[in-house]
Amino acid sequence: MVRSRRMMASNQTGYVCPRDGSDLVPPSASQRSAYHRNGMHHCETCSGMLLNANAAASSLCSKKLQEMHEGFVEEGTPDDIDCPFCDSQMKVRSFAFQRLDGSLTDPIEIDGCPSCSSFWLDADELHRLSPPSNGGKDAKVEANALAVVLEILLQLPVVFV
Ligand SMILES: [Zn+2]
Ligand SMILES: [Zn+2]
């Protein structure tokens, strides 16, 4: 399915899902504070998450995302999606979160923009760490669940693997 992504951008942010072209829900339009603190836009069609360091209200999260961004400037494999913020071709890398006991979670893939500090996380990737609470039937409900999971994970050190 080929749609003009820019033509789809009709909501107040103008950012659209890089996977399905749906309008992304901006952090400010969500009732959940997890979105606001971490600068998460989300897609109500596929439950994907778009993070951006500059959009994060939490300075801790903003700092974490800036650190992660450095891992995408020189490294990573070019992916077939463009950054919703700046249209650069995104890169994909595998990374894991380090638990308090020092062990690592299963690796998941994240798309990062080499130009700006944006990241895209597919719901499927987060499901590897946290299975869908509702069988994945309601993308809106699932996105809310994943935002909470992601907020907890972002407290942990991130390791590129
Ligand atoms: Zn989507
Ligand atoms: Zn970008």
Q: What is the residue extent of each domain of the chain?
A: 5-160
Distance 159 CA to ligand 1 centre (A): 26
Residue 62: what residue type?
A: S
Distance 17 CA to ligand 1 centre (A): 5
Question: What is the model's pTM?
Answer: 0.87
- CB 98: neighbour CB atoms within 10 A? 13
pLDDT value for 135: 67
| Closest-approaching ligand to the CA atom of 18 | 1
Q: pLDDT tens, 12-49?
A: 568 999 999 999 999 888 878 889 888 899 999 999 99
122-to-8, 58, 59, 130 alpha-carbon distances in Å: 20, 22, 24, 13
Please state the rounded mean pLDDT for residues 103-108. Answer: 95
**Ligand 2 (ion): which residues have CB within 5 A?**
83, 85-86, 88, 113, 115-116, 118
